Structure 1
Amino acid sequence: MEVFSAIQWIQFVMATLSVIGSSSLIAYIVFQNIQKSPEIRPLFYLSFSDLLLGICWLIEALLYGTSVVNKDIVCYNLQAVGQIFYISSFLYTVNYIWYLYKELRMKHKLHGQSTFPPVIDYTCQVGQIAIILSSLIPLLLMIPVFCLGNASECFHNFSQSHRCILMYSPPSAMAELLPSADASVCSTLYFYGLTIFLASFLLSLLTIVVLLIQAQTLYKKFVKSTGFLGSEQWAVIHIMEQRVRFYPVAFFCCWGPAVILMIVKLTKPQDTKLHMALYVLQALTASSQGLLNCGVYGWTQYNFYHLKQEARRDADTQTPLLCSQKRFYSRGLHPLESTLAFATSTSTIL
């Protein structure tokens, strides 16, 4: 069908852009030699997972429509490997947002003139354990799909024509005519993989929403605080809060259409126009996670440097009296602007 040919090319283009985006972010982190930083470590693994997932999407798009030996086996196992990577990306996204929230919370406690070294050590240890589990759990969950699926030859038990470009191909209606395939095992594995995908997404989304609400509450406390913070400290806090907001948006934009498609396919297995529209939307979004994550990080980094330079310029060119007057008149402005003005005035006075 022409729709599936279009989906192939959309997936090819978006997967290529995702590979470029995640590779660029990895190269930046390695070049800056910040991959061992507690904040950057989960982002580095998230980007690496996005890179491997993008490569899987790219290979699948290239295989579609070609006559390769054992293509069915390759496509089946590529789908299973891809599921490992996107469940890992779910967990790494949660891990990264959790760390940003903990850093925001730690800065708020330090702002209250309290120090908590044991808490900092505990956070680092929990973060390291979470990174290991984010790689180990998806692999363990997908072992039955690899072992039982290949043993039962489930690559014969699904609609093969579009396997390489669709995340989940439902069991074929002709499966019972294939004596080499165990239809019951393959159908069970299909719904098992679908359940794992939906459960991991929903749990990750719920955790992210909770962290987002907590981070927004902390940021409001920062804005209303009357303590003394430097302009660069406010820039760091603002950018961390932005990342806590934008990474969940990128996460939902990437995987929301795929989740909606899975739910629709469970209720209406036969392909309809709605299915086709969701197939196209999924090809546009699910393959672009590496690109979006790279874009969010690059945009927030640019804002950070711009905000920091602007605050420094403001501190260098204005007198303490003018800064205090600016703070008074800017109370009706955006909270971040008034906060930066106040932080700049205090740093100039000191």
Structure 2
Amino acid sequence: MRLSGGSSWSWPLSGEARLFTSSCHTEACVCVRACVCVCVYSILGSGSIIYCLMLQRLSRTPELQPLFLLSVSDLLLAFCWLIGVVLFSRNCSSVSVHCYNLHTVEQVLYMASFFCTLNYVWNLYKGLREKLYSCLSGYSCVYVCVCVLLPLLLMTPVFIWGNISECHTNFSQPYRCLLMHTGPVFNPSHHQPLIPSCSLLRTYHRGVFLSSFILTLLVITVFVVKSRRIYRRVVTSQGYLGNQQRALFRLMDRRMILYPLIFIICWGPAVTLAFMRVVLPSAVHGFLGVILYVSQAFTSASQGFLNSLVYGWTRVQLRRSGHGCRDADTQTPLLRAQKDSRTYRTLRSIC
């Protein structure tokens, strides 16, 4: 990296296409390749959960369907990032149209992953509440429809009006295909002024992203606090508090801290960067902006991998179903049904 004019940091590149040539030895090339590796880890992490749930036919169960939806959104998002890298490395006349539409699809998947995370925590809270009050409400398809359709509805104006107004002309540089916000990192030599309608769509785009993140984080925090209180009431409902119960409390506390913490780690740099671009655009051209650009590339791309660990394989039921993948074909239907029923009961006692 080099300091330009004492106030701006940029990668020492004469052209963005040099990043993926055989002579590429720049820091930007290393950063992009590292992000590709992180995306591959996310694909493997979310894909392993999807494979295990589908193999055991657990993807439609009320307990694990939220996890399945979250893994699917993470998997699709990681594939979108890889497609962006492929478009970045290609030099074709229609790359601007593809990059613009890809960013719109990515925005839909961003919000879908937000809502799927919220749906997961809501399902956890609802399950604990049902255990406390001994009532069953089932799993409504309304939550699934909201997670899928609401992001599509919110981004439909960006897709339709953006293509009508030809806002893709602002995506003519190949680096525009990379992840979320990467422009000033490459310090382009010319800046094309935005069409007023495109500028309005970009403001709407960022506003929707920031609003959905803040809303999701607040609701997740509320559900986490409520789930922790209900969990303590469930454990102490028998009137006995021993070492085992205290260990469960500590386990629950760690889990309840991890849920919002991982969400902030994955999207904190991207949200901070988007907020700075709205409030103080000049600040993103300095050293802090470069740090945020690089950080959001790694943290956002690692969402699928981190979610597979925190939300997926830490759950007792999923671990047991994962062990059952090896001998599923050798079990009789009766033994398999008995094993599944035990894991469902375990899910309600240990989150």
**Shift in CA distance, 240/28, structure 1 to aligned 2, threshold 3 Å:** farther
1:124 aligns with 2:136: no
Identity between Structure 1 and Structure 2 (%): 39
Q: 1:287: Cα distance to partner?
A: 0.7
Name the SS for the 1:124 alignment partner.
Answer: coil
1:195 aligns with 2:207: yes
Distance (Å, rounded) in 2 between the aligned partners of 1:301 and 1:58: 32
Check whether the contact 1:253–1:285 (CA below 8 A) recurs between aligned residues.
yes
Report which stretch shifted further, 97-106 or 262-271: 262-271
- Residue 152 of structure 2 corresponds to 139
Check whether the contact 1:94–1:208 (CA below 8 A) recurs between aligned residues.
yes
Q: Deviations over 1:97-140 (max 9, x none)?
A: 00101111111223xxxxx3xxx23x523xx2011111001011
- Residue 149 of structure 1 corresponds to 162
- Residue 315 of structure 1 corresponds to none
Q: 1:11: Cα distance to partner?
A: 2.1
Matched letter for residue 192 of structure 2: A
Q: 1:252: Cα distance to partner?
A: 1.6
Matched letter for residue 309 of structure 2: G
Check whether the contact 1:157–1:186 (CA below 8 A) recurs between aligned residues.
no
- Residue 310 of structure 1 corresponds to none
- Residue 77 of structure 1 corresponds to 101
Distance (Å, rounded) in 2 between the aligned partners of 1:240 and 1:27: 27
| 2:290 maps to which of 276, 281, 284 | 276
- Residue 123 of structure 2 corresponds to 99
Matched letter for residue 167 of structure 1: M
Name the SS for the 2:238 alignment partner.
Answer: coil
1:175 aligns with 2:192: yes
* Larger Rg computed on CA atoms: 1
Distance (Å, rounded) in 1 between the aligned partners of 2:55 and 2:253: 25
Question: CA RMSD, aligned part only?
Answer: 3.1
Matched letter for residue 193 of structure 1: H
Matched letter for residue 286 of structure 1: S
- Residue 62 of structure 1 corresponds to 86
Matched letter for residue 168 of structure 2: F
- Residue 23 of structure 1 corresponds to 47
Matched letter for residue 47 of structure 1: S
Check whether the contact 1:60–1:78 (CA below 8 A) recurs between aligned residues.
yes
- Residue 336 of structure 2 corresponds to none
> Which has the larger helix fraction?
1
Distance (Å, rounded) in 2 between the aligned partners of 1:242 and 1:49: 25
- Residue 323 of structure 2 corresponds to none
Check whether the contact 2:273–2:292 (CA below 8 A) recurs between aligned residues.
yes
**Shift in CA distance, 139/267, structure 1 to aligned 2, threshold 3 Å:** same
- Residue 206 of structure 1 corresponds to 218
Distance (Å, rounded) in 2 between the aligned partners of 1:56 and 1:225: 47
Distance (Å, rounded) in 1 between the aligned partners of 2:87 and 2:56: 36
Q: 1:282: Cα distance to partner?
A: 0.6
Check whether the contact 2:182–2:293 (CA below 8 A) recurs between aligned residues.
no
**Shift in CA distance, 282/91, structure 1 to aligned 2, threshold 3 Å:** same
**Shift in CA distance, 140/237, structure 1 to aligned 2, threshold 3 Å:** farther
Distance (Å, rounded) in 1 between the aligned partners of 2:264 and 2:157: 28
Q: Deviations over 1:219-246 (max 9, x none)?
A: 22234333589xx999999977765543
Q: Deviations over 1:301-322 (max 9, x none)?
A: 39976xxxxxxxxxxxxxxxxx
Q: 1:64: Cα distance to partner?
A: 1.9
Distance (Å, rounded) in 1 between the aligned partners of 2:225 and 2:114: 19
Check whether the contact 2:176–2:183 (CA below 8 A) recurs between aligned residues.
no
1:45 aligns with 2:69: yes
Name the SS for the 1:36 alignment partner.
Answer: coil
Q: 1:33: Cα distance to partner?
A: 1.3
**Shift in CA distance, 257/289, structure 1 to aligned 2, threshold 3 Å:** same
- Residue 34 of structure 1 corresponds to 58
**Shift in CA distance, 292/32, structure 1 to aligned 2, threshold 3 Å:** same
Q: 1:160: Cα distance to partner?
A: 2.5
| 1:301 maps to which of 309, 312, 316 | 316
**Shift in CA distance, 63/17, structure 1 to aligned 2, threshold 3 Å:** same
Distance (Å, rounded) in 2 between the aligned partners of 1:93 and 1:16: 21
Q: 1:8: Cα distance to partner?
A: 1.7
Distance (Å, rounded) in 2 between the aligned partners of 1:192 and 1:155: 16
